[in-house]
Amino acid sequence: MAEQKATNVHWHEGDITREHRQKLLGHRGATIWFTGLSGSGKSTVAVELEGVLHERGVLAYRLDGDNVRMGINKNLGFSAEDRAENIRRIGEVAKLFADSGVVALSSFISPYVADRDAVRELHENAGMDFIEVFVDCALEAAEARDPKGLYKKARAGEIKNFTGIDDPYEAPAKPEIHLHSDQQSLDEEVEVILAELTRRGVISA
């Protein structure tokens, strides 16, 4: 340990690294990337997982429409170009969080394989965990839930290019985790993700 005085503290051990932060927190940073249709239950799983991680002393942080679309991405619309840029920026922010030691929980539809794979590559090139969680749910089930009334508006033609209606959802071919939110319980879903985090050594058992 470096010498420490009450009024004059020093740090002599070089730049603080990801490993220093991991040691401080007792866990590694990572990005958990939820993808799936609107209404599939991405945020529901993310919120529950956040609570369970907190209970275990793991610092997690959710990135979602509330704090991203109104913040860093508030100058983006819904053109193809802006949608790609939306996901790119979220991926870069998640990567910064993962680097800082935080478990970032990103929940956005993120319907295109190319955009998600670009975020994966960003993380993997930097030696960071990227865990893609496909929150799979039949369109009928998601549309029946329609928590925000968006499917209704899309069917009425009030929203254009809505994923699953008149814009495609490209399902992940090899997600780290494949949930079936119309068949599994919330507890089961969270357990599967915890097991993967433990298996990777992001968190301890």
- Catalytically active residues, by annotation: 107
CB of 67 to a second copy, least distance (A): 6
**Nearer residue to a second copy within complex by CB, 92 or 158:** 92
Residue 129 sits at φ, ψ, to 5 deg, of -75, 125
Q: How far apart are the first and last CA of the chain?
A: 28
Q: Which three-class secondary structure state does DSSP give residue 67?
A: helix
CB of 70 to a second copy, least distance (A): 10
User: Residue 152 Cβ, how far from a second copy at the closest point, in Å?
Assistant: 26
- Which residue has tokens 């866990």? 27
The answer to whether 142 and 38 have CB atoms below 8 angstroms apart is yes
For 8-34, letters b (16+ CB in 10 Å) and e give eeeeeeeeeebeebeeebebbbbbbbb
Which residue's CB is nearer to a second copy, number 30 or number 190? 190
Which CB atom, from 165 or from 194, has the smaller least distance to a second copy? 194
Residue 161: DSSP 8-state: S
CB of 53 to a second copy, least distance (A): 9
> Considering beta carbons, is residue 8 or 140 the nearer one to a second copy?
8
CA distance 101 to 31: 10
**Secondary element (H or E) of residue 104:** strand 103-107
Residue numbers of the site for a second copy (CB under 8 A)?
Answer: 2, 4, 7-13, 15-16, 20-21, 24-25, 47-48, 50-52, 54-57, 59-61, 63, 67, 71-72, 75, 85, 89, 92-93, 95-97, 99-102, 122, 187, 190-191, 194
